[in-house]
Structure 1
């Protein structure tokens, strides 16, 4: 553990008592403390910027002079991962980093992030977090290195208006066989592939996190065991999921050519779903805002009237329809922060009340807390509130270190399915072989 992490843990009791003793003794020439906050997506930076003076005033009322410098550095996900890893390694990273949960495990395991447990224990805000959200961000050592300020629910979005016009049942499908029967009805009417699940290398990590993973998550098969820290690469659930993809492609229900497009989400989610050619799309709750909302990438007029949401149907016997809860972005603190107490105060303040409600509304995310449904402007987002009501009953897939390698293997093997170079069984075998090679034998359960 670094010297700063030891000092942060020792000072936690003072923080919870309302003092920032570690910060008050050091800082700028005027006695104040300056901490840096990194936002690498413009929409997030735009909503955070006007909140910073409010936080500074709130701290001033408590007798603490804390300044926040916002670093708004617009980057792609890959650019961000490269840059933040370099900065953390060199000790030059900002105090607070806002990032997706998939980045946290590796960085925490490398010792780059501050363990936040001492700051969260005893904080009444932590008691308001949904259990599934807490479970999703708990790291293999049992600790928390990120405070999530959003959640997501992944489901199947469908075009109610189109299906009703075609005379296709819009009630919740109980099984994939039932849903496939409906999609065959649509294809018979339109001659087009009627649904999209992310797959292939062009879709990148989405082929795993938004494609295969949500399907496997509801099968009851274990993917990752936190105690042994090993991945199970062969299971009934994985075999069933690869077989499902193969069946959908063979029956012409997935747009194989579009999935091989360099930007496969454009002809599918941004063109054919909005125009109604594709009638079912695997999607997260963020789609209401980012994809099909009035200011989204491909707005659908009167989207709430035209689009509905189904749970994923059951794939294997003995299971029931379900939705999947996924992580969103969270605030982490650099293990080498010179002012960890002030950084933790900022993280908690941004993850509470009106500041949190404004962020959720701006990015179309679901509240990770139970106490936001009456807070404006979040309270005026019916689609997000509906998704939040599902959150306690969602499936939360347990994942750990090695996700990137598993994702890479999924991308390659689903690409084989899309191109017709493998059937379901062959893809499952190829996945297990490739993932084991990428992960290394010690991280694979046998």
Structure 2
């Protein structure tokens, strides 16, 4: 069996040309998918590359036992999301993209629409594990044309993280708040005692896309108002729920509960999630499942000692009458397959193998993500992580946030509108109106519900 090769892509001239030296090789094109075949797998986050690399030799061995000679070439190219999108687009266009790309699920819609990704419906229908995937995960992976272009190998839950130890010390209720009025009353208790902001929800332009995906969208999604219609592919830009969501931001800012100056400065997540929350001076933060590892875990950016004992999660409280507390169940990273790959079956075998069994359990535990299907809950080390098992339960029942073509433009308008609230230039109603106007202009008539 051949040994997996790990290539570290250098982001110099290659970033401009979009050509990876590893992708220019032509020695793996001979023969069918039984081999010899080389599958190139791209990881653009170092932590994910570190998590997947130990499993590639086992995959090659498993394939060899089936009489298939498949080698995996791991391409490690640490990039930001924006750098990744630019570079992989260039590679798709030039025909040099890897066979399998591990990417955030938000990238799939655009790449699939451009014809860069292989439709996987036939492969998924033949895979028994796919039938066990949680419905919210499958729904999130289904694109607007009704087809699937990626294999989800993790799931994330967006909720409110809180410092149990700090709130208990301050005498503040830690039970699930049923409404935002309830939670705001608790936050006011905290701020009255500490003199500091008590919650961070991404807002403004400095946070970039996180203002949309981690801040506004989870709030708006639970209001019951239609935001995006998957059948028509159109956005509804004015509704009771949208106005209520912007008004919530305004209430939090006006009450001094949000760290306004931090949110207006560059890299606003650093003083909030990496300083204030870990030290306990701002005990509530909107956050995804990855926070258990990447942010506050033992090897995270800002470790919290005994994080499992000190930190808990709440569902988002109800914002408008007639709704209930909820969590947002969202897609994490997915394996997408290059539409131009010459080895689709082998590429799909790799994606499936890494998405189940021990390979999946160890990667999920390392990354800090919930399983997208129930077949991993009893496999160590995932089985011994209560935070991830709890997140998995919420994945089953969570609300799926609307997402479709034009999301980047809507995100831009949300950032601008919440920035106006932070600056004191708009109240909730004014921000909602400004959002609707800017989003409509950016989207164009074809994507806006008339």
TM-score (norm 2): 0.92
Looking at structure 2, the residues matched to 101 and 405 of structure 1 have their Cα atoms a distance apart, in angstroms, of 17
Question: Which of the residues 229, 233, 236 maps onto 2:237?
Answer: 233
Question: Which of the residues 246, 263, 266 maps onto 2:250?
Answer: 246
Give the unaligned 5+ runs of structure 2: 1-27
CA contact (8 A) 2:214 2:286 kept: yes
Looking at structure 1, the residues matched to 356 and 194 of structure 2 have their Cα atoms a distance apart, in angstroms, of 48
1:25 deviation in Å? 9.0
**Does 2:358 correspond to 1:354?**
yes
Looking at structure 1, the residues matched to 392 and 97 of structure 2 have their Cα atoms a distance apart, in angstroms, of 33
Q: Which residue of 2 aligns with 1:96?
A: 100
Looking at structure 2, the residues matched to 53 and 181 of structure 1 have their Cα atoms a distance apart, in angstroms, of 54
Q: Which residue of 2 aligns with 1:257?
A: 261
Secondary structure of the 1:68 match is strand
**Does 2:397 correspond to 1:393?**
yes
1:35 deviation in Å? 1.3
Provide runs of 4+ in structure 1 moved above 2 Å. 24-28
CA contact (8 A) 2:326 2:398 kept: yes
**Does 2:204 correspond to 1:200?**
yes
CA contact (8 A) 1:116 1:145 kept: yes
Looking at structure 2, the residues matched to 128 and 195 of structure 1 have their Cα atoms a distance apart, in angstroms, of 37
Matches within 5 A, 1:291-330: 291-330=295-334
CA contact (8 A) 1:203 1:263 kept: yes
Matches within 5 A, 1:151-190: 151-190=155-194
Q: Which residue of 1 aligns with 2:281?
A: 277
Secondary structure of the 1:112 match is coil
Question: Which of the residues 56, 62, 67 maps onto 1:58?
Answer: 62
1:436 deviation in Å? 1.1
Secondary structure of the 1:290 match is coil
CA contact (8 A) 1:151 1:368 kept: yes
**Does 2:177 correspond to 1:142?**
no
Looking at structure 1, the residues matched to 29 and 177 of structure 2 have their Cα atoms a distance apart, in angstroms, of 62
Looking at structure 2, the residues matched to 180 and 73 of structure 1 have their Cα atoms a distance apart, in angstroms, of 43
1:27 deviation in Å? 3.9
Question: Which of the residues 326, 331, 336 maps onto 1:332?
Answer: 336
Q: Which residue of 1 aligns with 2:130?
A: 126
Looking at structure 1, the residues matched to 424 and 281 of structure 2 have their Cα atoms a distance apart, in angstroms, of 23
CA contact (8 A) 2:35 2:70 kept: no
Looking at structure 1, the residues matched to 35 and 162 of structure 2 have their Cα atoms a distance apart, in angstroms, of 57
Give the unaligned 5+ runs of structure 1: 1-23
CA contact (8 A) 2:277 2:285 kept: yes
CA contact (8 A) 1:203 1:259 kept: yes
1:160 deviation in Å? 1.0
Query: Cα deviation per residue 1:11-65 (whole Å; 9 max; x = unaligned)?
Result: xxxxxxxxxxxxx99349x950111110000011111112111111111111111
Looking at structure 2, the residues matched to 27 and 223 of structure 1 have their Cα atoms a distance apart, in angstroms, of 49
Q: Which residue of 2 aligns with 1:15?
A: none
Looking at structure 2, the residues matched to 334 and 438 of structure 1 have their Cα atoms a distance apart, in angstroms, of 29
Q: Which residue of 1 aligns with 2:88?
A: 84
Secondary structure of the 2:376 match is coil
Question: Which of the residues 18, 37, 43 maps onto 2:47?
Answer: 43
Looking at structure 2, the residues matched to 47 and 276 of structure 1 have their Cα atoms a distance apart, in angstroms, of 30
Query: Cα deviation per residue 1:165-200 (whole Å; 9 max; x = unaligned)?
Result: 111111111100111111111111111111100001
